[in-house]
Chains A and B, each alone.
Chain A
Amino acid sequence: MTPNEFTRRHEQEWEQLEALIAARSGRGSAKRSHRKYYPEMPDDSGMNRTEEQTVDQTVFPSLYRRVCLHLALARERHYPSALIDRLDRLTLSGHQAFYSARSRLLHNIAQFAVHDFPTLIREHARLFWFASALLYLPALLMGLLVHFQPEMVYSLLNHDNVRELEEMYRAGGAIEPETGSGRAADQNFKMLGFYVRNNISIGFQCFASGILFGLGTLFFLSLNGLIFGAVSAHLIHQGSAERFFQFVIAHGAFELTAIVLCGMAGLLLGRALISPGRRRRSEALAHAANPAVRIVFGATAMLLIAAFIEAFWSSGTYLPPTGKFIVGGLLWVLVAAYFLFMGARRAP
């Protein structure tokens, strides 16, 4: 068969597949081309989604396989390269339309929140505790150092940082103005934007830098731990402990845990590189990426919650300090319970 005859004989099928692919990817011309090839179908108004899907599901696979066959034939017979190119492109887009997953986003998110996320964390519990240690041990260490040698705080923070901190948490400072609800509302909004951007970026850094054999995660977690320890101990030393802790306790439940989780995701990548097991390093890495990115998704959601709490609740004075400590404590219990009890139990 000559190329031209081949084209004449099969061109209609190719155009039909093209039209179906266009309909799948939902481009503008989809309806029109659909009509062209299915004139027997009822009018646009009469043709509902399910009917369209039926046509799509019954015709598409067989048509696509036929075009695959045409491509193989055209190659085998050394038809002109323009023709092979055309079939090649058609097969590629058919392949993409056929095999790309159609996701049910909302359902997946709900499933993830109530089940997959906490289960996933429990699965890698040891890594979680390791990441926690990387954050909290340096914090404790630095806290003790600053407690016994207050000037140590300047080894991490410069004078301006420290003065700003003292200013913020002193009696009647930025955290505790005269007005009833703490900061003005629009100020809260600005801080929300700041917290979202700043905290989630830190989380992403902790995760991404894990690919450097885990060293980046090690660095960022410990650094954040050191700073947190230094700041806490310094403020305790200054006598602003109560104001500081009533500010951080509520959002800390989500924020600190989420940072640990981001670090944990980074360590998953690092571990894949350090001990890939029976896989090649690149494969081990790609394999570890799936759980890692799911953890990062979850942690991002937690950081968003933390940012809202930090912006609208933590600085407010709706409750007396005792009340804020109780609410904050409850949030810690909530987070812990979520990770301990939600989702599937381990098989008995």
Chain B
Amino acid sequence: MFDYDVIVIGGGINGLCCSAYLGKAGLKTLVLEARGECGAHCDTSEPGIPGFLYNLHATMLATGFGPPMQDLELEKYGLELRNTSYVWGKPFLDGTNALIASSPYDTMENWGKHSKQDRSLLENALEFLYPQMLDFTDIVHRFMYTAPTAETMQTFSDFMGRFFKHLGKNMTGEQFMKMNGFEVMDAMFESDHIKTMVQAMEWIIGFPPIHPQIGAIGSLLGLLSGSFFPLTTAKGGSHAVTHALIQANVDNGVKIMTCCPVKKIIMKNGEAQGVILHEDAIYPNQEITSKKIVSNITVVPTFINLIGEDHISDKDLVKRIKNFNYHEQTIFTVHYALSGQPQWRTADYDEGIMRSWMGYFGGETTDEMKKYSQAIIDQEIYPEIYANWYLPTLADPTQAPKGGHVTQAWIDIPGEPLKWKHGKLGGKKAFLDIKNVLADQITDAYDHYAPGFKKLILNRYIYSPLEQERNNPSAIQGCWAGGSVIPEQFYDKRPVAGVCVGGGSRTFMKNLYLSNSIHPFGITPMGSGYIAACEVAEDMGVREQEWWTSKATHWYLENAANIPLDLGVRRSL
């Protein structure tokens, strides 16, 4: 009667994760992708000089963290993670640097140079966590890979209460859950260098420090990054994740059709029953029916474009959906092909920075980071460059020809900028005019922290929010997270009150699920795709599978020691 059991609209990695699980569980599954290639946000490409691979979107991969790594056997399909012995480096203009290492001992050694007190606190924190690892991983699994519930949040909160008690901090779990990242850092640490480094780290993983609760949870994850929460690259770049997912899908009988944008979801009796392809699709206007539909293309396009407001009786809900915010988590990136490795000016202080494949420069003080956060909310392009940087070739030399490197630097930026230091701006179309100047500024800043950087540049490729949105229509206003991570759109409120009903991905529309815009939001641990898969499988009676058992951190804790480190590192002179 139906062409398929499940159609997944959108072949991004969360969509592919969902479809792979469902195909493996025996459901007849189809993935429809608008672009020619799946994995729009997990893409590796050569737009500059062939041989220099640019990871155009997701660069740090937390894929090793979640259940899909083991359940879907992604390693078997060619996903090989790569890392460096330091995962986060923040050089400062006073010649020091603050680092987070893969090994907590190395982290403590660096922190000890900044503050004995902070080093002790970290040591205490780990002393608390390690014996409770099973409990803690269980909490993290519940938080990231199951539908939001008050119970999960309470358990998390209670755990944090015990955590702070152990650290001798006068703070309850409830208090913690109301704080923002800046407040948590102030409560825990004394060194502003360490604070700003962790603030930057949590921001990059999707938890802007300025927001209450979000900032608090983010700071915990930020502290645990590298050691417990893996952030790696992969052999061949980020799209190794996409390729592995595609292979897993094909191996499990899933059909993937690309260049097949969906125009409409077919509605019958208030139920989603299938899709109609766009007239530009390779099979124009084709109708395909299915029992269940999972939409990976975020909440607004799903309900307003594909379903249409006429099919939604609750007009207040329509209004709330239309007001869904995509303004934050927008970035402006410059990719570079380099003839050598950048030489950070603080390598003498701690040479670990030369073995770090990710980091941040700028935002020297908490005050500056706060101003920067506010500027983005105010839709202003901040006058100073505070940037995230990546150097994946330190972990995986295959991403550039021998001796060469690839790097990127990106700044958080308003998706619709209204002003910058040179005057007013007319929103995102301004990027076409200003992107070259902005790229120059980023280049100058990089050179300031790594003198000689400019001389290494063989090619640069600019990726503004305009490019991002054109590349992926779901990245509305260039938002990479499927919607802003702000308090009104966080956890059980995500994406919009009234959309997800009876689960994390089940929507108010019968047979329709979301795998994007929902908790825990896009990105590479693939929590959203996993949650959607679980709920569709439950509803179809196929959730109980002997292979569908992995939990967050299981694969990583077993395999971390096997991940090659520092394959591309060359000792600096």
A binds B: no
By a beta-carbon cutoff of 8 Å, the part of chain B in contact with chain A is: none
By a beta-carbon cutoff of 8 Å, the part of chain A in contact with chain B is: none
